[in-house]
Structure 1
Amino acid sequence: MKPLTVKNLTMITAGNLVQGSEEVLIQHGAYRLKQVKKPNTALFTGIRIVDWKSLESFYPLVLVTDRTYSRNEVPRQITIIKVTDTDDSYWKFVQFYRSQFNIPIVAITGTSGKTTTKEMIKHLLSAEKNVTATTLSSNSRTASLQYLLSIEDETQAAVFETAVGSPGDVRTAGKYFKPTIGIITNIGAHHLNYCKTLEGYIQAKAEMLDIIQPNGTLILNAEDVNTQKIDLSRFQGHIIKVGKHISCDYIASNIRYDKNGMLFNLYHKGKGYEIFVPGFGEHQVYNALAAIAAVCEMGMAIPQAAKQLQSFRHLNKQLQLFEGINHCMLLDDTWSITTTSLEAALKVLTALGEGKKKVAVIGTITDLGSWGYIIHEQAGELIHRIGVDVLVTIGEHARIMADHAIDLGLSSPVYTFKNSTLAYKLLQEIVDKNTIVLIKGDMYSEEVHKLAAELIIKKSFPSE
């Protein structure tokens, strides 16, 4: 955080200093007690009862509050700024802090690919800029303040992932970050327990259009069906479309698998470039297109971006290739699961598994609420359409996709288990060096993660 004094903060919040010195330096911010982790923190709260003794190690502490405390209720070591409304003062502070920096800020949302795209952009920019970004996929609304405060005088660009747990989340993130560039990677079906309907979820993602700064840039996957449903007429900035169609601003063609990643030809403004992106699957090409478009908007040349992209390291548990039990090929994709990412993973399984027995081990899709049955049936449709040689599901809800795939005519052997123990025993019997196994689930599924760990024999595959 760029430091400021209590005197500065008192002016920003239109408050009154009622206890302590105006010369105290503020180096951190918090609006919840559990966010106070270091001395010199400004805490915005209206909580009446606080265990001040538990916070002694964090003194000096600055309290910004609309509450009136009685004499000696708050230790003298704590500076108090009295404000009319704590919430309003907090947002005044946020607005002030963001206004100090005139730098490119990228906000990314999407059902899948947002973390990878964010990490790609960070990696590309780091070749020549000081960049701050969200940590892996940690993107909850409660973390936004800390990410904003990670912008300092030395920061030249920032890249933030904005999740959608419920409507309003992207708009709230926009109040913190005020992005100059916004990216929607794709829109599948997720978080329907809060967004209620797919249309509601699409509109929650479309909040991105409202938070980009005037004359800013919106980057879209032109071929994503649900993204095409967004009404773009209200967006007054610059729109960049990426995809395979000739109408796109960044066009990918001749997409092909290569050792450890994907090769494709990129066409932009009449010029062509050959691009290698680490990580398997056509979805990685779309991630790379969005990342390259974003950094080009910030002034980086495509040849430089292409060279830097070659050293990108794709994320753990996202279609990582290992040697598994009985010398099989193992694709660990247990970071998250949606129908969008499942389709991408099954396509990678098909491409890498040519000439091999293809086994898919799939866990439950979470955060669906009352849509759980329908979305698992849609997953079954994907499995039937793309095809596997053996299907294994783990979990009660995952069984729905197995049953539906069978109902649609999947003739391959299908096994359904409640836990990973019997699944492991089965895989021991049916896989060998001529087998490729995809294990797909999310970070919250202990059974799927346990099975993935048991299946991995070596942290690489002989062909790598």
Structure 2
Amino acid sequence: MKKLTVNQIKEGTGGRLLNGNAFDTAENICTDSRIAQAGDVFFALIGELHDAHQYLPQVLESGCRCVVISDENAWKQAAEQSGEAGNVSAILVEDTTRALQELAAFYLGLLNLKKIAVTGSTGKTSTRDLTAYVCREKYKTQKNTGNLNNHIGVPLTILSFEEDTQVGVLEMGMDKQGEIDLLARIVKPDIGIITNIGLAHIENLGSQEGIFQAKMELTGYFDETNVLIAARDEEFLNRERIQGPYRLVLAGTDGKSDFIISHIEDFGADGIQFCLEHLGEMHRFRLPIPGRHNAFNAALAVAAGLELGITMEEAARGLAKAQLTDKRLTVRGKNGIKIIDDTYNASPDSMRAAIDVLMKTRGIRNIAVLGDMFELGETSLTQHELIGRYAAQQGVQLLVAIGRDAEQIARGAEKEGLEKSFYFERKEEFLEHMDSIIERGDVILVKGSRGMEMEKIVKKIMEQQE
């Protein structure tokens, strides 16, 4: 982070300086009292379960000398308790979360960089990562780490950008209307990417049309200088549905797209190869990450790179180095068992894509361990059954379904004729029987929604192979 003076922080947050020196500086933003230290600005955020103002005494004891607070009494008590009032700058704001967001927007205005925002029902983290790999071939590029993609994570990511950052790639997550609009207002992206319109969060948004409208909030601050890049589909992401003053660039497998994807070769856990045609020129790309669907994510990344003056050759070099964020189709192996760890989250589209990767990965048996998919609303039981049917149709040899609605995955697989399937309401029940189900030589896909904590299954399998 570029050093900021207390006065700049006051200006950026719209706050009032209660105490301290306006010319002191800070070089890091912190929202976790346990790791606050000298040189940090501590934001006392108020969440559903915790009010960080109660930790101000510990923050001051840690050596932190600048705090942004909305509870003046809590500050006074902490300062009195620690005896550090004279050495600490305290900025009073109305809402500390909103102040963090406003400071992020202010900070972006101090930097000279291009901003790429990525959203979509599925694939946004992978596309974010691939876009960063492309851009790093020519520019100093930074991006969100982990899952810092919400109303707090995006501002924290922005405020971690170094002063000489040339490209910022920012994933934007949402589960309700208005959330992408908030992030777009903070970021004011130069380039927007929408990966797809699926069923994730349909419980909150009501329909795919609602999901589409929520994703399109990304363009709310676009004008004729902006570009929206999207994976073309017939219903939502096409020139008939998307209208605006900005330029639209589409990637897809037909002649209606600006970037035409073809000749996808799937090597299972070893990655994919595909061709991309643009302006009459054909280029071949190799990705060391699994999944046919990543050809579309990579095409979006290439399109974004070309908007910044990156050549196809440079983009290909960047993609060849790609590694995805952990728990997204990460292949692990030990003692003759191979695990495809895709436990970060799940939706119907990403479930199908992961099953495709499983079936392209060599092993004696292909096993799918699938957990509940959340936030599907009244479509949930149907969508779970369809996933079971899809697994059986693709040739999965053994299926394990875990969770409340996942019982429909097992039933769907059985309806399609799969003879070997197991259902467990809780993953602990599966873990008790796991040794009798898994064998040496198996390739095992483990996937489910975040709240299912399916990574615990991956961990247990790996531990038992030691």
TM bucket (normalised to shorter chain) is 0.7 to 0.9
Q: In structure 2, which of residues 48, 54, 59 is the aligned counterpart of residue 55 of structure 1?
A: 59
Verify the 8 A CA contact 1:388 1:412 in the aligned structure 2: no
Q: Which residue of 2 aligns with 1:377?
A: 385
3-state DSSP class of the match of 2:152? helix
Q: Which amino acid aligns with 1:41?
A: V
Q: CA deviation at 1:445?
A: 2.9
1:217-257 deviation digits (Å, cap 9, x = unpaired): 11111137554599311x21111101111221111111112
For residues 13 and 446 of structure 2, what CA distance do their matches in structure 1 show? Answer: 52
Which residue in the other structure is 2:246 paired with? Answer: 237
Alignment of 1:20-169 (within 5 A): 20-29=20-29, 38-41=38-41, 43=43, 50=54, 52-56=56-60, 57-63=62-68, 74=79, 75-81=85-91, 93-169=103-179
Greater shift in the superposed pair: 26-35 or 173-182: 26-35
Matched, 1:412 2:422: no
Offset from partner CA, 1:244-301 (integer Å, 9 cap, x none):
1122111111111247111111111111111111122210111110111111111110
Question: For residues 155 and 379 of structure 2, what CA distance do their matches in structure 1 show?
Answer: 32
Could you say which residue in structure 2 is the equivalent of 1:462?
Answer: none
Provide the C-alpha distance between the structure 1 equivalents of 2:331 and 2:45, rounded to a whole number of angstroms: 47
The equivalent position to 1:335 in structure 2, one of 308, 333, 344, is 344
Q: Name the stretch that deviates more: 186-195 or 297-306.
A: 186-195
SS at match of 1:393: strand
Task: Say whether the 8 Å CA contact 2:119–2:215 is kept in structure 1.
Answer: yes
Q: Distance in 1 between matches of 2:190 and 2:145?
A: 20
Q: 2 CA distance for matches of 1:91 and 1:437?
A: 41
Q: Distance in 2 between matches of 1:24 and 1:384?
A: 64
Q: 1:171, 1:208 within 8 Å by CA — same for their partners in 2?
A: yes
Structure 1 residues 211 and 387: alpha-carbon distance in aligned structure 2, compared to 1, 3 A threshold: farther
Partner of 2:457: 451
Q: Which residue of 1 aligns with 2:316?
A: 306
Tell me what 1:272 maps to: 282
Letter in 1 for 2:417: L
Mapped to 2, the partners of 1:346 and 1:367 lie a distance apart of 20
User: Is 1:251 aligned to 2:257, yes or no?
Assistant: no
CA contact (8 A) 1:32 1:45 kept: no
Match of 2:371 in 1: 363
Deviation at 1:32, TM superposition (A): 8.6
Shift in CA distance, 458/103, structure 1 to aligned 2, threshold 3 Å: farther
**Change in 2 beyond 3 A, CA 1:33/1:200:** farther
Q: Could you say which residue in structure 1 is the equivalent of 2:182?
A: 172
Q: Which is worse superposed, 336-345 or 412-421?
A: 412-421
Q: Does the 8 Å contact 1:188/1:226 carry over to 2?
A: no
Judged with a 3 Å threshold, the aligned counterparts in structure 2 of structure 1 residues 394 and 58 are, in CA distance, closer, same or farther, namely: same
Q: For the residues of structure 2 that align with 1:204 and 1:253, how far apart are their CA atoms? A: 30
Give me the whole-angstrom Cα distance separating, in 1, the residues matched to 2:55 and 2:463.
Answer: 50
**Residues 398 and 62 of structure 1, relative CA distance in 2, 3 Å threshold:** closer
Structure 2: gaps spanning 5 or more residues = 80-84
TM, length-normalised to structure 2: 0.83
The answer to whether the 8 Å contact 2:57/2:78 transfers is no
Segment drifting more, 190-199 vs 301-310:
190-199
Matched, 1:217 2:221: no
Question: How far apart, in 2, do the equivalents of 1:70 and 1:388 lie?
Answer: 59
Q: In the alignment, what sits opposite 1:204?
A: 214
Most deviating of 364-373 and 286-295: 364-373
Amino acid at match of 1:445: M
* CA–CA separation in structure 1 for the residues paired with 2:189 and 2:386: 34
Partner of 1:190: 200
1:285 to 295, 298, 312: 295
Unaligned runs of 5+ in 1: 460-464
> 2: CA distance between counterparts of 1:147 and 1:333?
24
- Give aligned pairs, total: 451
Task: Please state how far the C-alpha of 1:157 moved relative to its aligned partner.
Answer: 0.7
Q: 1:323–1:458: 8 Å Cα contact kept in structure 2?
A: no
- How far the C-alpha of 1:386 sits from its partner, in A, is 3.5
What SS does the aligned partner of 2:374 have?
coil
